[in-house]
Structure 1
Amino acid sequence: MKILLKSFILFLVSTTFFCCKPIEKHNLTKYVNPFIGTGGHGHTFPGVSASFGMIQLSPNNGQGGWDWCSGYHYSDSIVIGFSHLNLSGTGGSDLKDILFMPINKKVDLTTSFSARDAPYRSQYSHQNESATSGYYSVFLKDHNINVELTANLRTAFHKYTYKKNDLQSVVIDLETTTASHIRIENKFTVSGYRYSEGWAKNQKVFFVAKFSKPISRKQLIANGKIIDSDYVEGTKTATQLFFEEENGSTLEARVAYSSVSIENAKENLDYDKNFDEAKKKAIKNWDKELNDIVVETKVDSLKTIFYTSLYHAKLAPTTFSDVNGEFRLENDKIATNNNYTTYSTLSLWDTFRAEHPLLTLINPEKVGDMISSMLAYFDERNKLPVWNLYANETNTMTGYHSIPVIVEAYMKGIRNFDTEKAFQAIKTTMMQNERGLDHYKKYGYVPFDLLDESVTITLEYAYDDWCAAQMAKALGYKEDYNYFLNRANNAYKYVFDPETKFMRGKSSDGVSWNEPFDPYRSKHRRDTDYTEGNAWQHSWFVLHDTENFIKMHGGSDKFTDMLGQLFVQPTEITGEHTSPDISGMVGQYAHGNEPSHHIAYLFNKAGKPWLTQYWVKKILDTQYNTTPNGLSGNEDCGQMSAWYVFSSMGIYPFNPASATYEIGTPLFDKSTINLENGKQFIIEAKNVSDKNFYIQAIKLNGENYNKTFITHDQIIVGGVLTFVMGSQPNKNWGLKN
């Protein structure tokens, strides 16, 4: 007994030491390729931003097409300038505010022209373009100017290198707006504002720019006229600035903005660093961020995909409050936070699935601030956000998925927000009558004859309800717990067709299905029972009551037979069966859009984890690569990338608010998660290879582990999860959950 006790103590001490040893820093920015996702339908941008930064400074091609949502697409070869606010991977286009363009000639800004035909545009080549986390450069062919960009949290830094003896000039174009103005404050400083309407209806951007050289002359334009003044205002304003070339061939500019005022933009501006200092600091900061997870493999391409994914996952949500804590609300009131950072760009329909769960592991200190931001938006509208952009509610997509983000954080022990207020906000939101909740409360589901996308809305409200129930239970609200749990566990049953086994639109009569039924049919968010997808893709969204869901199919075998059919159905369907969001196809599984992201892990729930391993490996191999087309669908503010980060390590947050992770199949020999508490959670995969992706056995801290999931609590205390991998499935592993 003494020998056993001594051995246990030695193991405990060695494990504790191993998991709490000083973190060795690795140079990981070299693996980041921001061009991944800039082709195809990825909609990412190659420019610069700090992690969760206020500034997203990136080249703008001047195109208005869907694949230019970020302002840039790899297929292009024209740049019209460099804008300071850009979206990463969204399906909607907006922002691209405050356009700067260095040029070497005088241009006429009084004429009417489209963005694509701007007189200051230039051609460029990818051979003379480079990017990594924190730094971007491109050579402008038409102007013989090399452009370099970097950024910190609230300041953008530009460096332009002109050809010797060339005219040195910069155009600032605020483009068409509802109102704008530009002021030359002094020989080095320009300020202004731009008011506009777009996806976010009330956008007010105030900016200040400080140059490294004095402005020798300038021309200001308002509504097509040259104004002889230091100040212009109008619906379309621009300026061309000129600098003396004898003061050297390099010009630098630093730019900051605010949603509140020019004075706040000035406070946000970093006056201390020059470009080279800022670049060095930006890359160093990104290296620190990337060291949150260290993966080890001999395959460098896998590192490139992984660290680019981790980089993309840390671009949004974006910092929105100024250094003094102020930020603008949609109703134009100025709010002030005293103890947290306010965030916007909350793409919650996408990011509640894996992006926010990832942050609970590697950036938990920011999660509470993001929730406090949601509560600030709740104070304004008396409902939690759906898709918040520039502090505007866009009401884009279905459900209220701020709710699972809040509840997940609470269930994982993150409490640096007003938890009581958060629950009351959840309850108030789910008891209102907007966005189909009136029908949902009356019928228990959303009838198809009363609202489009009824099936998706029903299923997503059911999950939001389940999340609300969990927080109610934890806070001791028994009546609320029973109410929300009852709705959650019944809603999805109303739209489940026991004959076809698909989730289908049901009429308000409680009996009739939407006919004729075609499980392949999908129109893009119009006249359909599903949001951006079809019955094949949307019939699996039951994250909270999967045991009963499987029984409704007739048990594990029948359930997995149909689930397996999803991955082998015909992919190319013509006619009405098309949608730009159905991409990244494996059969009818559509990895390019978020509703499919949990599906491969359902085999775990049905007692066949080897099928989860098979299909997760298939998705990892086929839906991500190192080219500009390396994302099979919209990046969606980090969700596509977060799926890869989790799944490539071998775990995935199937039901985020459950505070558990399903086990899939790891790609790496070793993954080390450096936790905020100073501990490490290490995932090892012995014998892993391209062919050896089936789990033979697992040990957790040296003890046999036969469950297909692991809890958040097990991870954050630190430890070692060891996989033994092989080329054939072990159908006996993981059956004792």
Structure 2
Amino acid sequence: MDTPTRRHLLKTAAAAASLPLAGCATPGPREAGATALPADKLTRHVDLFIGTGGHGHTTPAATRPFGMVQLGPDTYNAVWDSCSGYHDSDRSIMGFSHTHLSGTGIGDLLDVLVMPGVGDVKRQPGPPSNPELGWRAPFTHADQAAEPGYYRVALRDRGVTVELTATERVGLHRYTFPASARSHLMVDLRHGMQDKPGVPTRVPWAELQVVGNDTLLGGRSVKQWADGRHIYFAMQFSRPFERFEVFNGAGADASTARESRGTQLLAALHWRTEAGEPLLVKCGISAVSAEGALRNLREELPGWDFDAVRADASVAWERELSVLQLQTFDARHQRMLYTALYHSLLAPTLFSDVDGRYRGMDLQVHQLPHGERNYTQFSLWDTYRSLHPLLTLAAPGRVPDLVNSLIRMAEQSEQGVPVWPLQGRETGCMIGYHSAVVVAEALAKGFTGIDFKRAWPLWRQRAMDDAYRGLPQYRRLGYIPSDQEEEATSKTLEYAYDDWALARLARGVGANDDAVLLQQRSLNYRNVFDPAQRFVRPRLANGRWAEPFEPRALGHSARWHDFTESNAWQATFLNQHDVAGYMQLFGGEAGFIDKLDALFTTSSEQLPGAPPDIAGLIGQYAHGNEPSHHIAYLYAYAGQPWKTHARVREIMDTLYSDQPDGLSGNEDCGQMSAWLLLSALGLYPVDPVSARYVFGSPLVSSAVLTLPGGARLEIEAQGNGPAQRYVQSVTWRGQPYKRSWIDHASLVQGGRLVFVMGSEPNRQFGAAPGDRPPAAL
């Protein structure tokens, strides 16, 4: 069975990604938002354009923390680097839509696009190479600015200034037109992410209702990545439009019918405008119904005070960011780290209405218990590694709702437990079923308000019974044969970690026999390790190793890949839960260290045909791909944490920056940023289910994390600087602390964690066996 991973998209997108985008000049450094936020505000450090270049795939859209609405510019919707709808190298805007994916490796959403115009109505956006053929608007980076909760751009070709802000479920636009008798807004229900240029977004149905002369109601279904999702909207205008036109399909005549249904709906709304006179638009969205969208609009945004909504959005972001007070030895790092925190608080996104209704994975409408919220957009293969552990520290109040959302999805989806859920649909993207890890981590960290006994049978079914992507072979043979299943070697390793997570969940709910079985099965990683080569490698159904074997290759045959976003070099270190036992396969600690060293020092050369998402290379370590993210921390398990310090600081110094291309790979819904932020604090959850953090090399000079109940976790890196990357010693709550790790339960009680930094390694720190992170089953 083929597994829908980002690599499938890249097979078809690599050629398109190599084509020049509109305007390829690289802009110079710039601050986000030319609006001079107050000097005491943390939001002033956030640069919404970090990650919008390179392959970061982030969006500068206006939104609230975890907001349902992300209202922002779409520069293109048909190439891989524009997965978020926006890319830094583009030089024209096709409109402003209300939903975006920030940093994913596959595109979708971009719902309910609005575009202002002056003069003749054009019915297509037009190509990036010739924006004048449609309604596209050329722009420069000097024309735009952004800050958390706000975006602005000047469309000089038509003399229109666009400003955007949002509540959680409502987008608010402010358009300042020139004096004209022919000003208009286009509302496009055809627009969305496309598979490639020239292939329209698949819209099975759309509906539009014009109510009076100031309201539009509507909705549509979309069959793109999240196949068959529903989205509805309610849009109101601050001034009545003079007339409207609706177009239903290519070449269709304009209609003034107040109700329309079709697959290619487009509306044009007309006004006379005076110079400097603003036209405001507010648009609520809902997955339940247009009436639900209207209810969201009326509850969250009854008025028209744009500046007040913008200010309130800024306050919401300030409140979320202020949970972490950071000081750094380089001002550039302040921008990097607060932007990383911002990106870490964008997803998962809210997916329930103000009345608690939401559309489930069965596409039916459900009602939440009072006070609960439903979420979507879980990039779990990525985010279980760093983002969800970060949220247990920086946004713990949201964790029960996030986990309960996953449990509801598992109950409602005919496809079982969540893998990559988006807006009520299961994309099935990537491998494993790492919702198991998020649930087990919440249990391990003592979160309440979650019914873990209700969750257990749902995930047990996947582990024990489901005929899902090689699991029958995995259960029978202890590995997945690479001549029977795509990406089989990576799947074997990922299932082994899911088994470890579910063993902890089983033990927590009293299913002890299952816990023993799953813990033993979590050792299946051994079955794809070749001790002669000291590499993880693909294995065939007859038990033999697949040939030919090239550790830089993605697969041994042209039929399919053996690894997911990795090769044998990186996959060889995809062990997060039994590192001590794993070392013995290398002949002991020395052999393990030698192999780790080789990973970082071997040639970075890629074989022909490697996809463009292999990025952020140090040797064959690939920071742009999530299977590598814990690897630099493995030195600590072998008693050489000083090598962890050196490599982690190297990654932070060379593979992140405060520029638009400041991420070395897809942001992946906060994973890349969460890695940076946790690493900058000197903490990393190699095995999130263990509820432990391995020490790295702090990038901060000091940090204060405000915890529930008013406790404070204070972190200080004394003597820190560009060359002072090695931890010399640690104190915790005023006492010497010799371990190279610390547990979550200690941190959340609060206290002062002090790292003393130096320019040379202290090879004794963390070297003793009793001071290393526990890692044996």
Give the TM-score normalised by the residue count of structure 1. Answer: 0.94
Residue 157 of structure 2, aligned match among 142, 145, 148:
142
Match of 1:550 among 558, 570, 583: 583
- Give yes or no for contact 1:453–1:525 (8 Å, CA) kept in 2: no
Q: Distance in 2 between matches of 1:191 and 1:140?
A: 27
Does residue 384 (structure 1) correspond to residue 417 (structure 2)? The answer is yes
For 1:192, what is the secondary structure of its paired residue? strand
**What is residue 375 of structure 1 aligned with on the other side?**
407
Residue 265 of structure 1 pairs with residue 293 of structure 2: yes
Unaligned runs of 5+ in 1: 1-24
1:163 Cα deviation from its structure 2 partner: 2.1
Matched, 1:671 2:724: no
Query: Which one of 455, 474, 479 corresponds to residue 440 of structure 1?
Result: 474
**Greater than 6 Å deviation, 4+ residue runs:** 111-116, 523-526
- Asked if 1 retains the 8 angstrom alpha-carbon contact of 2:728 and 2:756, the reply is yes
Work out whether residues 178 and 274 of structure 2, in 8 Å CA contact, stay in contact via their aligned partners in 1.
no
Contact 1:698 1:705 in 2 (8 A): yes
CA contact (8 A) 2:43 2:148 kept: yes
Q: Residues 214 and 236 of structure 2 are in contact (CA less than 8 Å); yes or no, is this contact kept in structure 1?
A: yes
Give the whole-Å Cα distance in 1 for the aligned partners of 2:706 and 2:623: 28
Pair 1:647-2:679 in alignment: yes
- Contact between 2:126 and 2:135, CA under 8 Å: does it hold in 1? no
- Does the Cα contact within 8 Å between 2:181 and 2:271 map onto a contact in 1? no
Aligned partner of 2:658 in structure 1 is 626
1:33 equivalent in alignment to 2:47: yes
Matching residue of 1:474: 508
Which of the numbers 590, 596, 611 marks the counterpart of 2:643?
611
Q: Are 2:228 and 1:202 aligned?
A: yes
Report the equivalent of 2:337: 306
- Is this contact kept in 1: 2:92–2:128, CA < 8 A? no
**Partner secondary structure for residue 294 of structure 1:** strand
Output the CA distance in 1 between the equivalents of 2:276 and 2:573: 63
Q: Is 1:362 aligned to residue 394 of structure 2?
A: yes
Q: Secondary structure at the match of 2:584?
A: helix
Offset of 1:159 from its aligned partner? 0.7
Contact 2:655 2:664 in 1 (8 A): yes
Q: 1:474 & 1:388 partners in 2: Cα distance? A: 26
SS in 1 for 2:335: helix
Cα distance in 2 for partners of 1:310, 1:79 equals 27
> Quick one: structure 1 residues 525 and 357, their matched pair in 2 at CA, closer, same or farther if it must change by over 3 Å?
farther
Given candidates 300, 323, 334, the residue that maps to 2:354 is 323
Find the aligned partners of 2:125 and 2:254 in 1 and give their Cα distance.
13
Which letter maps to 1:133? P
The answer on whether the counterparts of 2:176 and 2:276 sit within 8 Å (CA) in structure 1 is: no
Q: Matched residues in 1 for 2:309 and 2:335: separation?
A: 24
Give, in whole Å, the separation in 1 of the partners of 2:607 and 2:491.
26
Q: Matched residue of 2:63: which SS?
A: coil
What RMSD, in angstroms, separates the aligned Cα atoms of the two structures? 1.7
Deviation per residue, 1:365-410 (Å, 9 max, x gap): 2111111111111112362100001121111101010001000011
Could you tell me which of 175, 184, 194 is aligned with 2:210? 184
1:717 match: secondary structure? coil
Instruction: Say whether the 8 Å CA contact 1:533–1:579 is kept in structure 2.
Output: no
**1:639-687 Cα distance to aligned partner (Å, 9 max, x none):** 0000001001110111001000010011111011111221110110110
* Residue 482 of structure 2 corresponds to residue 430 of structure 1: no
1:55-454 paired onto structure 2 within 5 Å: 55-109=69-123, 119-165=134-180, 167-175=182-190, 177-223=203-249, 224-246=252-274, 249-269=277-297, 270-339=301-370, 340-381=372-413, 383-431=416-464, 432-454=466-488
**Alignment pair present for 1:47 and 2:75:** no
**Residue aligned with 1:157, SS:** strand
User: Is the 8 Å Cα contact of residues 533 and 581 (structure 1) preserved in structure 2?
Assistant: no
Q: In structure 1, what is the equivalent of residue 14 of structure 2?
A: none
| Deviates further, 542-551 or 608-617 | 542-551
TM-score normalized with structure 2 length: 0.89
Deviates more, 1:240-249 or 1:333-342: 240-249
Q: Does 1:721 align with 2:753?
A: yes
Shift, 1:544, TM fit: 0.8
Using the TM superposition, give the Cα deviation of residue 570 of structure 1 relative to its aligned residue in structure 2, in angstroms: 1.1
1:176-230 C-alpha deviation (Å, 9 max, x unpaired): 5211122211222111112221001112111011111111111111112211322
> In 1, distance between residues paired with 2:363 and 2:727?
55
Deviations 1:284-306 (A, max 9, x none): 11011111111112421100000
Separation (CA, whole Å) in 2 of partners of 1:604 and 1:190: 59
Q: Which moved more, 1:199-208 or 1:468-477?
A: 468-477
Q: CA deviation at 1:574?
A: 3.5
Q: CA deviation at 1:113?
A: 6.2
Give SS of 1:397's match. coil
Indicate the SS of the match to 2:716: strand
CA distance in 2, matches of 1:232, 1:584: 49
Cα separation, 1, equivalents of 2:365 and 2:325: 41
**Structure-1 separation of matches of 2:360 and 2:126:** 33
Counterpart pick for 1:567 among 600, 625, 629: 600
Cα distance in 1, alignment partners of residues 749 and 559 from structure 2 = 47
Q: Which residue of 1 is the match for residue 489 of structure 2?
A: 455
Mean Cα deviation higher: 176-185 or 654-663? 176-185
Aligned residue in 1 for 2:567:
534
Indicate the percent of aligned positions where both proteins have the same amino acid: 39
Inter-partner Cα distance in structure 2 for 1:381 and 1:80: 35
Give 1:104 shift: 1.4
Question: Are the equivalent residues in 2 in contact too, given 1:169–1:243 (CA < 8 A)?
Answer: yes
